[in-house]
Amino acid sequence: MTLVVSRFEPAAAADAVLRGYYEVMRASQARDRVDEPRLTYENCVGRLRTPFAGLGPVAHWIATAEGEIVGLATVYLMEGPQNGQLAVTDIQVHPRHRRKGVGTEVLRTLLPWLRENGRTVVEYWQVTKNGDGEHWARGLGMRTTYHNRLQALSLAEHDPKRWRPDTPRGYRLVQWDDAAPDELLESYVRVHRAMRDAPHEGMAYQAPEWTVEGIRAREAEFRESGVRQRVVVAVHERTGEVAGFTELEQHPHRPRWGYQRDTGVLSAHRGHGLGYVVKSRMLTWLLADVPDLELVFTGSNAGNTHMLRVNAELGYTVTREMIAVNQDIDALAVALGRTENDSIGSPS
């Protein structure tokens, strides 16, 4: 099989190329993510044209064999002093073409470009535990660094009355989209900084040192990409400080899905159930605005028993076990040299 790996620009791609890209994504999902609703062509192209905010510049590759797209790669070049060495990479191979060295050849092609862009570490976040991707990563000596439980909430199957807990005495809830109110911005930044103590196991990724400018830049990036970010915070009445928060994204290509992101509570305010309260308000707000909302997804560290319990009380169920893997580029180059003529497993 003659394999050609090349850069891919979604905005300039012909429909036939986009259809080939979609076929790889669709088939990979059917093999590796059977719990998810089936990916549509419009969803797939929408994601290509709406990169995740906050992960830096994105680049795409396709692997073609005899005119058929058989593999894909997406690379985010993280930015900032904590993550400027990091490339967050996702490689997908059509199930019919796995274990033929496709993923390995894609990664081999990427490494020189990553070096040119100052990267020293590759990290892959979306690996289904015990799946083809994990097998491939282990074959290349990648380290397993993070265990995540993906959870989903079907809005049609739950009674919204369960999401109306009393707000603890001494706190009030505030919600917004688009941009944080000026009077809460600095304390909103401080509660974000508290997220740096969240467990990340051995991940190369480090939570950024949030600043007012960083929050405003992220809000602007959401607006530019058409992503609606909703935020609910618990404000401590006596001090006027943000004590806890939760964030959720709605992407333009999947308006009936919500993506629950970070939730955090300052240590001085823990023990009052604020995490459950802000997440409950988020769900009731969502339903009021989007009555036909179908699903909300979230993920939690497998060791974060408290947040997993909160999510279960809200109605989330665990759908899949995920891991993250990483490795230094120098070590990967050595491993790829050993497998130059091998047909090791290709990733999901």
CA-based torsion, 286, 126, 129, 198: positive or negative: negative
Cα–Cα distance measured from residue 10 to residue 287, given in angstroms and rounded to the nearest whole number:
33
Cα–Cα distance measured from residue 136 to residue 325, given in angstroms and rounded to the nearest whole number:
11
Determine, yes or no, domain membership for 345.
no
Same domain, 122 and 173: no
Please state the pTM of the whole predicted model. 0.86
Same domain, 269 and 176: yes
Same domain, 55 and 100: yes
Determine, yes or no, domain membership for 344.
no
C-beta neighbour count of 320 within 10 angstroms? 18
Judging by beta carbons within 10 Å of its beta carbon (0-12, 13-18, 19+), is residue 176 exposed, middle or buried? middle
Determine, yes or no, domain membership for 347.
no
The candidate with the shortest Cα–Cα distance to 248, out of 194, 274, 286, is 286
Same domain, 12 and 144: yes
Same domain, 133 and 109: yes
Same domain, 106 and 169: no
Same domain, 193 and 262: yes
Please give the residue range of the domain that contains residue 239.
159-314
Determine, yes or no, domain membership for 343.
no
Same domain, 173 and 276: yes
pLDDT at site 94: 97
Same domain, 172 and 305: yes
C-beta neighbour count of 321 within 10 angstroms? 15
Q: Tell the residue number behind the tokens 């990483």, with chain if given.
A: 326
- CATH number reported for the structural domain that contains residue 172 in this entry: 3.40.630.30
The candidate with the shortest Cα–Cα distance to 226, out of 166, 177, 159, is 177
CB-based contact 277:168 (threshold 8 Å): yes
Same domain, 61 and 88: yes
Determine, yes or no, domain membership for 262.
yes
With b for 16 or more beta-carbon neighbours within 10 A and e for fewer, the 181-200 pattern comes to eeebeebbbebbebeeeeee
pLDDT at site 53: 80
Same domain, 102 and 164: no
Cα–Cα distance measured from residue 249 to residue 6, given in angstroms and rounded to the nearest whole number:
32
What is the pLDDT tens value at each position of the chain, 348 positions in all? 789 999 999 999 999 999 999 999 999 999 999 888 888 999 899 889 888 888 899 999 999 999 999 999 999 999 988 899 999 999 999 999 999 999 999 999 999 999 999 999 999 988 999 999 999 999 999 999 889 999 999 988 877 778 888 999 999 999 999 899 999 999 999 999 887 665 566 788 888 888 999 999 999 999 988 899 999 999 999 999 999 999 999 998 888 899 999 999 999 999 999 999 999 999 999 989 998 899 999 998 888 888 999 999 999 999 999 999 999 999 999 999 875 544 334 454
Reading the block at residue 210, the tokens are: 């949030």
Please name the amino acid found at residue 332: L
pLDDT at site 197: 60
- For the chain, the domain total comes to 2
Determine, yes or no, domain membership for 75.
yes
Cα–Cα distance measured from residue 185 to residue 189, given in angstroms and rounded to the nearest whole number:
6
Same domain, 10 and 119: yes
Determine, yes or no, domain membership for 144.
yes
Backbone φ/ψ region at 150: left (φ over 0), alpha (ψ -120 to 50), beta:
beta
Determine, yes or no, domain membership for 348.
no
Q: Give the C-alpha distances (Å, rounded to integers) separating 202 from 54, 90, 124, 130, 321.
A: 21, 18, 13, 19, 17
